[in-house]
Structure 1
Amino acid sequence: MEKPAKKISTSYGVYLGLSLILIVVLAYAFDLSLFTKWWFGVSLLAFVVIMASMATSKAKKVSTSLFKFKDAFGAYFLTVFLGTLISLFFGIILFNVIDPEAAETLTELTIETTRDMMEGFGAPEAQINEALQKMQEENQYSLINQLKGYGFQLILYALIGLIVALIFKEKEPTNV
């Protein structure tokens, strides 16, 4: 990836990270239950993909050579990686240092939401109790679990990034 494209992706990654922190702070301040809503998670995913796609588009515009698949994917993924890493560090600090009780509250809210969802799908009571027991025993906001979640997020974003890179890559000119 060319230096100007890398600079754009890095800038967008920082903007993305700061934006995600702002969103988390607002959700934390106004209503912790937002973190348990499916649409909130989907909205965050869409926001990340849009920001990374914008970075890829800008990187393509400043590219002085053929903008290959590798360049498009690199611009997209660098943005996602930096933005979500910044957000991850903030989440670790917020839920493990600043307010560990918020993590406990969120776990309780997540358990309630999971119970309602599983009952709505008609899951057997024994299966519901087993799933909820596992959730109570495991701290979702521990450093290890947040790092695992980050890893899975990166995989998901990378898969989406493959599609974004296919859209933004330039084809080799052919003489036919």
Structure 2
Amino acid sequence: MNEIVKKNGITYGIITGLLSVLITTLIYVIDLKLFTSVWLGFLSIAMYIIIGIVLLSKTRKEFMGSLTFKDAFTTYFISAVIGIFISVAFNIILFNFIDPAAKATIKELTMKYTVEMLQKFNTPASAINDTIKSLEENDQFSVFKLLQGSLFSILISAIFGLILSAFFKSKSALPQ
């Protein structure tokens, strides 16, 4: 594996992971209601995309403008997996060992928010009840659910990585 790919992937993965830990910590300290904030979720996604763009721009520059699709994707994927691993490890520790009561509070807030949203869309009461029952039965912060969610995050990151890599790969010279 190319040293630039490895160095940038690891460095930006650590940056992404630590940023995620910082955001989670700030939300935890400021107000648990923020865990149900849609706009904060979109803001986080935008931040991760911007970090990916900066990462691939830097990597392309270090490759003197000659970045292959494979190197771009590998760099992004390494970064994403490391960032996700750090974030999930922190969430496992925070919500299962440091403050398990917080996950119960977030679950209640999530159920309340979900009911309000479903009611705004005139969802039938039976569907709302089914949704609430499903939420009550699941522990979104259990070790298993967090690990399961990390697999989904890796898959989504891979898709973003494919798209970004297609934009950042060097254009092949046309055969003469």
Give the structure-2-normalised TM-score.
0.95
**Could you list the runs of 5+ residues in structure 2 that have no partner in the other structure?**
none
Whole-angstrom distance in 2 between the partners of 1:30 and 1:95: 16
Question: Are 1:93 and 2:93 an aligned pair?
Answer: yes
Aligned CA RMSD, in angstroms, stands at: 1.4
Partner deviation per Cα, 1:111-132 (whole Å, 9 max, x = no partner): 0011011111111001101110
Whole-angstrom distance in 1 between the partners of 2:161 and 2:122: 35
Whole-angstrom distance in 1 between the partners of 2:114 and 2:135: 10
Instruction: Tell me the residue number matched to 1:167.
Output: 167
Instruction: Tell me the residue number matched to 1:80.
Output: 80
Instruction: Tell me the residue number matched to 1:46.
Output: 46
Whole-angstrom distance in 2 between the partners of 1:171 and 1:94: 45
Partner deviation per Cα, 1:31-61 (whole Å, 9 max, x = no partner): 1111101111111111112112211111111
Q: Tell whether the 8 Å contact from 1:103 to 1:141 is kept in structure 2 after alignment.
A: yes
Whole-angstrom distance in 2 between the partners of 1:170 and 1:35: 39
Q: Which moved more, 1:68-77 or 1:100-109?
A: 68-77
Mapping for residues 18-33 of structure 1, pairs under 5 Å:
18-33=18-33
Code of the residue aligned with 1:38 in structure 2: it is V
Whole-angstrom distance in 2 between the partners of 1:23 and 1:64: 34
SS in structure 1 at match of 2:173: coil
Shift of 1:66: 3.4
Whole-angstrom distance in 2 between the partners of 1:35 and 1:103: 10
Instruction: Tell me the residue number matched to 2:120.
Output: 120
Structure 1 residues 65 and 41, CA gap change in structure 2 (3 angstroms): closer
Whole-angstrom distance in 1 between the partners of 2:95 and 2:126: 31
Instruction: Tell me the residue number matched to 2:59.
Output: 59
Percent identity reads 38
Whole-angstrom distance in 2 between the partners of 1:4 and 1:149: 29
Whole-angstrom distance in 1 between the partners of 2:83 and 2:175: 41
Partner deviation per Cα, 1:4-42 (whole Å, 9 max, x = no partner): 231012111101111111111011000111110111111
Shift of 1:175: 4.3
Instruction: Tell me the residue number matched to 1:71.
Output: 71
SS in structure 1 at match of 2:67: coil
Whole-angstrom distance in 2 between the partners of 1:44 and 1:65: 29
Give the structure-1-normalised TM-score.
0.95
Whole-angstrom distance in 1 between the partners of 2:82 and 2:49: 13
Code of the residue aligned with 2:143 in structure 1: it is L
Whole-angstrom distance in 1 between the partners of 2:115 and 2:152: 24
Q: Tell whether the 8 Å contact from 1:33 to 1:109 is kept in structure 2 after alignment.
A: yes
Moved over 6 A (4+): none
Partner deviation per Cα, 1:90-142 (whole Å, 9 max, x = no partner): 00000000000000000000000110111111110011011101111111110
